[in-house]
Structure 1
Amino acid sequence: MTKPTVGIIGLGAMGAGIAKTLRNNGFTIHVCDVRPGVADAFVADGGTAHANTAALAAVSDVVVSVVVNAAQTESVLFGDDGKGGAAAAMCPGSTFVMCSTVDPNWSVAMEARLNALGLHYVDAPISGGAAKAASGQMTMMTSAKPEAYAAAGAVLDGMAGKVYRLGDKAGAGSKVKIINQLLAGVHIAVAAEAMALGLREGVDAAALYEVITHSAGNSWMFENRMAHVLAGDYTPLSAVDIFVKDLGLVLDTARASKFPLPLAATAHQMFMQASTAGFAKEDDSAVIKIFPGITLPEGKEKA
């Protein structure tokens, strides 16, 4: 059976890994990124670069969008002025796979909008980080109509280690993703709080990290993000402002049904404080910088 031709829009930390994985798995890959030279650098090892999303969409059976948010996804599909986007160039029966973290209601509406154009839609947020994307081990939280799964299922399975099929229409994938982000954001915030307390109390940071990562208080986020703090390296793998956005989506969703989320709300305020303090574009572990009276380890960047 011939594999679908795949277009990848957005070659950031996750998108580049997805494109690499699909290429390694034998798919014909087309790529597009708004940053000059990024797509050309990727295709040096195989694939075809395109200057815009419409050109990519015209030659792709499945278009995978790996951009930051709903607004960027709208731009990918319909252009900044409502013209020149991927949607108008996609052939009827093609499939759009949306990998961003968005409001679930927005995803439901986008499915209807693309279905009206004769296009399939997969609500498919992703998780796992850049390394797992590049090794084909990331997680996808998907929901879609059966015909969309039929068209894009091979691509989904080719780009991720775990593909969860959570419903027969858009929305459930995005709901599960924002719940994941609730946990991720709270875990990062409390990991930073714990490390900050240790520093304030004069505990050796490296020793604290060693003990916690071998004790019951550990979490994946503590182990991963506090390593960034120890290295003094706040190069953004996932920026502070990502959690300003994602925890905001969590709270908006809960607010609609008057459901209380006290820990998520506190974590959101911590990321908001870090963002407004000037750390918006730094790695999300930089939320530790909001705590007063501590001296952070130094590395590539001075804390």
Structure 2
Amino acid sequence: MQTNTENTANTAYTVAVLGLGAMGLPMATRLATGLTVHGFDIAAARLELAEAAGIKTFGSGADAAAGADAVLLAVRNGAQLNDVLFGDAGIAPALKPGAVVVMTSTVGVAAVTDVAARLAEQQVELVDAPLSGGPVRAGEGDLLIVVGATEAAQATAKPVLELLASTLSIVGDKPGDGQALKTVNQLLCGVHIAAAAEAMALADALGLDREKTLDALQAGAAASFMLGNRGPRMLQAYDEEGAEVLSRLDIFVKDMGIVTKAARETGLPTPVAAAAEQLYLLGQAAGLGAADDSAVVKVVAPVRPAP
């Protein structure tokens, strides 16, 4: 495990960031403090924001990736990963031999290993680097990143990873290892959020003061990161506008699906994770997919009891 240190500028190193959304733009902005950054997004407004941050923008992903030492991708799933790389407008033909693709999303082991094999045919390596942390932490270089990649690929991606991560954990020497650890991580995160939702709903049903309950729980053995992080947002879930969306509920529909699929494929029973997955699926079916994942409390208690 490593923690980042101050980085000196290395403008001879170019990284292309494809997708300048809620996470992509702050990551690109952070990387621009030490590297030459190319950016691409389908939304003109995001390109304007990137240009204002000192990022050179391009009209296509392939143009942005051409000649880059590293390409940073944040995609929704394995199908989108394949499309970005190998679809009709895919960037793979534009990648130079010796470059690396840094894949920061949680898409599952199989999707990453398949893509890594195809990229290797053109002497490009995949760095499997799923990350945790929101947009603010991305802009500050305060992300948690777990990495599975060869030593050579790690070395090539090092300038990118060290600028983005406050905690950088090398968990294996091949693509897929990062996804495997992130799958285990998401099992715990998904279960912890669901458990926190049940606990806060029960506190409501018992007539307890919500804020005092949360403070008391966090001071004792029941404390957890997810309770402390999502608990305050669960207190806002029933407000008219709901909690600020920092992590969408449908992300955990995807991630818990990856968890339970991996468990089935290995023959491992995960009944608690399976139950949590159903809560997120129910939330999505109830129209909460785009809401903050703390809104899962509304699946347990659709109507909040009066204080």
Count of aligned pairs: 293
Inter-partner Cα distance in structure 1 for 2:252 and 2:302: 24
CA 1:69–1:296 in structure 2 vs 1: closer, same or farther (change >3 Å)?
farther
Q: How does 1:56-135 map to 2 (within 5 A)?
A: 56-78=64-86, 82-135=87-140
TM-score (normalizing by structure 2): 0.90
- After superposition, residues 22-61 of structure 1 pair within 5 angstroms as 22-24=31-33, 26-61=34-69
**2:298 corresponding residue in structure 1:** 289
Render the CA deviation track for 1:266-301: whole Å, top value 9, x for unaligned. Answer: 10000001110111111111111112364279xxxx
Counterpart in the other structure of 1:300: none
For 1:137-174, what per-residue CA distance to the aligned partner results, in whole angstroms no more than 9, with x for missing partners? Answer: 11111111222122212221121112211222111110
Q: Of 168, 171, 178, which aligns to 1:163?
A: 168
**Aligned-residue offset at 1:15:** 2.1
Is 1:173–2:178 an aligned residue pair?
Answer: yes
Q: Normalising by structure 1, report the TM-score.
A: 0.91
SS at match of 1:161: strand
Q: Which moved more, 1:170-179 or 1:15-24?
A: 15-24
Contact 2:23 2:134 in 1 (8 A): yes
* SS, match of residue 159 in structure 2: helix
What residue number does 1:14 align with?
23
Give the 3-state SS of the residue equivalent to 1:28 in structure 2. strand
Determine if contact 1:70/1:100 at 8 Å carries over to the other structure: no
User: 1:200 touches 1:293 (CA, 8 Å); kept in 2?
Assistant: no
Percent identical among aligned pairs is 39
5+ residue gaps in structure 1?
298-303
2:40–2:47 contact (8 Å) kept in structure 1: yes
Alpha-carbon deviations, 1:86-134, whole Å to 9, x = none?
Answer: 1111112111111110111221111111001221211110012222222
- Cα distance in 2, alignment partners of residues 59 and 236 from structure 1: 36
Task: Give the letter aligned to residue 256 of structure 1.
Answer: E
Distance in 2, matches of 1:139 and 1:287, equals: 24
Structure 1 Cα separation of the partners of residues 52 and 36 of structure 2: 14
Cα displacement (A) at 1:10: 2.0
